[in-house]
Structures are given as structure tokens and as C-alpha cells.
Chain A
Amino acid sequence: MKFSIICIAVGACLSLMVCGCGRHAGTSLTVAGSTAFQPFAEKLAEQFMAKRPDVNITVQGGGSALGIQSARSGAAQIGMADLVELPPEASELLGVTVARDGIAIIVNPENTLTNLSLEQIRGIFQGAIQNWKEAGGSDQPIRVVSREAGSGTRASFETIIGGITLARKAIIQDSNGTIRETVANDRDAVGYLSHGLLNAKVKAIRADGVECTENEIVAGRYKLVRPVFLLSQPPSAGAVKDFIDYILSSEGQETIRRNGLLPAK
């Protein structure tokens, strides 16, 4: 008796679910890829959807490679990638630069160091410099924190600094936020992250004497800068085009700027 009641209840739930399966009206867009640009995409999507209630945008992280892959396979309509150079398989996609992003070198706020030369940065991340003393700091071991192999930020960082083979002992984290948290929690750590995601928990240090600020990046003095691409299948049309156009509009670019990234141009 009891069991059949449960059977009926389960059956009812099942049929309810099937009934709820109809897709709701409007266009659905999925944006996936770079974790560095994800927060900006979410904010832009929020604003865009306020203007266009007929469009439903879902933003996923996953990394630049997932962005390229999803845009190619159709799992996402727009892929986000923040690489200095796009890989060959992205050539069939339409790429638009929607923003530029500085890469900040960060240390724990307790660290007294304020400046590193590019040469020192290379030495530290390669594991040749292992103590803060050797770079002008206090006598503490250096703990390198880096992104995962294949990360857009890491690829850009290593390309710009030039010829880095990452130290074996480096701690690996898989997003800007986690790099920031790790460095914020460890007095001896050094890492790098998207300029847009800097906050008071960590200290950005000067690279070759240039501070990582918007002015210095726009002026072209700060060297660690990479573009952010949005990739979609050609031809660009419909809601995809509208969303990308919105991001490139002065309002979209202003949102990007206000939240710490740099406009595309």
C-alpha cells in the first residue's frame, strides 16, 4: 500500500518534470571560456538582458580553451579567449577584440618588495631565484604560484616575459581568484593575475619600475598586456551580433573600464 503511494508520487513528479520541459520563449545564448573575462561577461550580460528581455544569456567559465572548443562545437554561441596568440583551431571562428587586460605581478601585502625587473620575474618563475633576499627582499623562501598549463593568462604571461619554463615547485591554481586568495594567505607567495581582479588583499608590484595601473597600460609603458577575444561562428548575426555590438558600444566599453579592464581601443 505504502509502496504504491510512493510509486504514484514518483510518477507524478516524473510527469511534472516532462511537462516543465518546454523551452521558454526567447533566444538563449551561452557564453563560455576565459575565467578572467567571465565576471565582466556576467555583468555585461546582466545589463544587456535588462535592455533585451527576449534574450537569455548564460555565462560559463572553464577557460580560454573551453571557450574556443565550445564555440566550435556549438555548445556555446560565444567563446571567450584571452590569449596573446589564438591557436590554429580558432581560425575558422570570428574573433573580435572586446577588451585589453593587464597582467599584474602580485605579492602578499606583508612583503616589503615594491619592484621587480622582468629579468627577476623570469628568474623567480623559473625557479632560479628561490629566496626573496636575492631579489632585494627579506630572507624568506619564495613560493611561486602560477596558473595551470594551457591557461590563457599563463600563456600570455610566459610569452611576454619570454621563455619561461615554470619552476617544478610552483603551486598551481586554476583561476585568477584562487591565485589571489593563495597569495593573500601566504606571506612568501608571488603570483600574477588579471589587472581587473586586483584588490586590497594582495599587493601589485612594479614591473621594470612601471606600476600596473590603467594609465600606464594605456600609455603603453606597462608591458604585460594581452587582448580579450570573443569568438563566434561566422556569419555574425542575431542575438550574438547584438550582444557583441553592445559590448563594443560606448556603454559596454564603459562597463568594462569601470570594472578594471581596458577598452578594446
Chain B
Amino acid sequence: MHQTGDKLIKWLLMALAFTALTSLLLIAIFIFKEGVPFIARVGFKDFLLSSDWQPQAGHFGIYPMIVASLLVTLGAMLVGAPLGIACAVFLNEFVPKHVTRIIKPTIELLAGIPSVVYGFIGVVVVAPLIRSQFGGPGLSMLCASLILGVMVLPTIISISTDVLASVPNAFREGALALGATRWQSVHMVILKAGRSGIVAAVILGMGRAIGETMAVIMVAGNTPQIPHSVLDSVCTLTAKIAIEMGSATGAHRQALFAIGVVLFIMIMMFNSIAMMAIKKRFAGK
């Protein structure tokens, strides 16, 4: 009796376990169905490597958007990763536990603040500051990177802190017993032990940055050009889709789905590389 019940439950759980995969496939099918024939028609090279985006004239080059997405994400990581990891290390290794117990939840609240609020602060505080201090339109790559960098902080901090906390205490005690200072024990032992987890934290942060749409639309200026400086307006892939989806018909709409395909593939590649890196580390152990 128990045996069959348990078996039934096992099958049920297995079915549930495929929900995520099924959803992913559904999403892929629906996006690819619209986008791939379009890319085939326009031509791979003309779509990916042309800088000419004029849907009404039949030009669909998304090169500037690809560059912008990558640069904005990179910028966000330059802001977010060092700050986030430093914060996690400090909270976990240098501060008494009861203080961390107050500060960590406080920082996790940042994660709950909606992206549109960050975007709004970007528009009313950061962009005018950039415009008056450095010139240019203010709504720029710099503004987008700063806002996104702050937005990914909670993700990075929260996961990194958990990773560091999971490093066995024996590692710390061992290092300290050998006469290492706190900092030596951190960068020689603990960061190494937690490296794969921290990489995962940063990758998750990057995922959030590259996928963010509304905050970017608000602060990046959405100009489909290849930026010459960090003060130029840029348009990311996500922003392009969100801004034009409402007004797109026919080939233009398919082009936006094709951008979706590119985003999708970029993220798949990205994820695979990250997973491989993590796996390699574990294999090397």
C-alpha cells in the first residue's frame, strides 16, 4: 500500500518537475515561431550586424542594440559586483552576527523595491545630475549602468552572503589558527571555497541587468546608435522590444520577436558558459 502510494507521488513530483522545462519550451516555441522565419528572410548578417534600424523602410539591423545591451550590463556589473561582494564579505566576516542579522534583511529589502522606482529615481535625480555635471542628454548609458548596478546589488549581496555563511567554520578557524589575519583568511580560504557560489551570484545579477526593461527604458534614452561615450543614449534589446511592440505590425512585429530570439539565445549561451565554469570547478576538487 505504502509502496504504490509512494510510487504515485514520485510520478506526480516528476511531472511537476517538468513544469519549468515545459514552460521554457512553450516560450521558446512561441517566440521562435515568429522570429526565426524572419531572420531567415532578412538574412543572418543583415539582421545581426547592420546598424540600420528603420522598420518602415525595411531595414532591421540590431547591432547597436546588441552592443548596448552588453555594454550596459557590463557597466552595471562594474558598479554592482565589487560593491555587492565587498558588502557580503564585510557583513559575513567582519561584523558581529547580531549586527548582520539586522543589516542583511535591510539590504534584502532593496530587492523588493520595484525596478520602476529605481528608474524613476534615475530620471529625476541621476539623469539631471549627469546632464549638468558632464553634459549630454543625461538619459544615457552611464545613467542606465548606475541604476542597474544598484538594482543588482541585493541579488549579489543576498546570495553571496548565503554562500559565505555556508563555508564551514573550520575553514576560518584553521586559517586563523595558522596565524592568518581575518582578511588573509577571507581572501586565501573563504573566497576560494565560496567562489563558485559568488560567480553564480554575479551571473544571476547579470541576468537581472540584461533582462531589465522598464527601468532601462526610463533612463537609457533609447537611441538605437552605437555609443561613442558613456554619456550617449543607447537602446538595449529589451527596451527595443517593449517600446515598439505596441506599434509594430507585420514584418516589424516579427522583427521584435526576432530580437526576442536573439536575447533568448544570448541568455542560453551565457547560462551554459556559467554552468560549465561552475561544474569545472567542482570537477577539479
A and B touch in the complex (CB under 8 A): yes
Alpha-carbon separation in the docked complex, A228 to B137 (Å) = 32
Would you call B221 an interface residue if the criterion is a C-beta within 8 Å of the partner chain's C-beta atoms?
A: yes
Tell me whether A171 and B56 are in contact (CB under 8 A): no
A87, A149, A170: residue with the most chain B Cβ atoms closer than 10 Å: A149
Tell me whether B223 and A63 are in contact (CB under 8 A): no
| Residues of A with C-beta under 8 A to B243 | 148, 172-174
Once A and B bind, how many residue pairs between them come within 8 Å at the CB atom?
Answer: 92
Alpha-carbon separation in the docked complex, A64 to B244 (Å) = 11
A58-86 interface code vs B (CB 8 A; 1 in, 0 out): 00011111101100000000000000000
Which candidate, A97-105, A112-120, A150-158, A191-199, is the interface stretch facing chain B?
A: A150-158
Would you call A143 an interface residue if the criterion is a C-beta within 8 Å of the partner chain's C-beta atoms?
A: yes
Question: When the two chains form the complex, which single residue of A149, A150, A172, A185 contacts B223, counting CB atoms closer than 8 Å?
Answer: A172
A4-44 interface code vs B (CB 8 A; 1 in, 0 out): 00000000000000000000000000000001000000000
Tell me whether B249 and A87 are in contact (CB under 8 A): yes
Tell me whether A65 and B247 are in contact (CB under 8 A): yes
A172-186 interface code vs B (CB 8 A; 1 in, 0 out): 111000000110011
Q: Which residues of chain A in 157-175 are interfacial with respect to chain B, using CB atoms and an 8 Å cutoff?
A: 165-166, 168-174
B41-63 interface code vs A (CB 8 A; 1 in, 0 out): 00000000000011111000000
- Determine chain A's interface SS by DSSP, over half rule: mixed
| Residues of B with C-beta under 8 A to A150 | 55-56, 244, 247-249, 252
| Residues of A with C-beta under 8 A to B252 | 65, 149-150
Question: When the two chains form the complex, which single residue of B56, B57, B128 contacts A155, counting CB atoms closer than 8 Å?
Answer: B56
Alpha-carbon separation in the docked complex, A170 to B221 (Å) = 9
Tell me whether B247 and A148 are in contact (CB under 8 A): yes
Would you call B233 an interface residue if the criterion is a C-beta within 8 Å of the partner chain's C-beta atoms?
A: yes
| Residues of A with C-beta under 8 A to B253 | 65, 69
Would you call A139 an interface residue if the criterion is a C-beta within 8 Å of the partner chain's C-beta atoms?
A: no
| Residues of A with C-beta under 8 A to B246 | 35, 61-66, 174
Tell me whether B247 and A64 are in contact (CB under 8 A): yes
Question: When the two chains form the complex, which single residue of B54, B139, B235 contacts A165, counting CB atoms closer than 8 Å?
Answer: B54
| Chain A residues engaging chain B, CB cutoff 8 angstroms | 35, 61-66, 68-69, 87, 89, 143, 147-152, 154-155, 165-166, 168-174, 181-182, 185-186, 189
